Structure 1
Amino acid sequence: MARHTGRGGGVHTTPNPNGKGWVNQRGGEVESTHRLKARAVESGRAQAMAQETEHTIHNRDGTIGYKNSYGNDPRSSKG
């Protein structure tokens, strides 16, 4: 299983590298632990919104499932 190393910034919801369940990490440090992925995603979303940053949700195999950004994103198109 791939493990998040803290690169890329923001809040990452990942499988718990130290056991069962899910964790929310920021900068490689565990901020919260959860038994269910849904609870971890909910908590990670709240953390990302409060910190105005990106929330990355990983799958059980460590790959990125999806991302949401709650920060100051640059405008992607002109006009």
Structure 2
Amino acid sequence: MRRFIAWLAATAPDGKIPLPAPTRAAVTHLYCVRIHPFEDGNGRIAWALAEKALLQVIGQPSLIALSHIIQRKCSACCKALEAAK
């Protein structure tokens, strides 16, 4: 977890090795889900961290939640993933 937090700070827009926001958000989500640091809520925490990674680029809070949009468009996303197999 310490390595993850250090990576998150280093890849921030003002960090030592800034990454593009979509890349950083995707890796943030993947890393948090992979290390599974909590007994419950890992997916929700991972989405919240991914959203934070995206929002750090624009420097202000969002009025919409990324997870809400994904859930609302879940059917279309699943169809697209199936088509890509």
TM-score, normalised by the number of residues in structure 2? 0.35
Q: Which has the higher helix share?
A: 2
Q: Which has the higher strand share?
A: 1
TM-score, normalised by the number of residues in structure 1? 0.37
Structure having greater relative contact order (Cα 8 Å, sep ≥ 6): 1
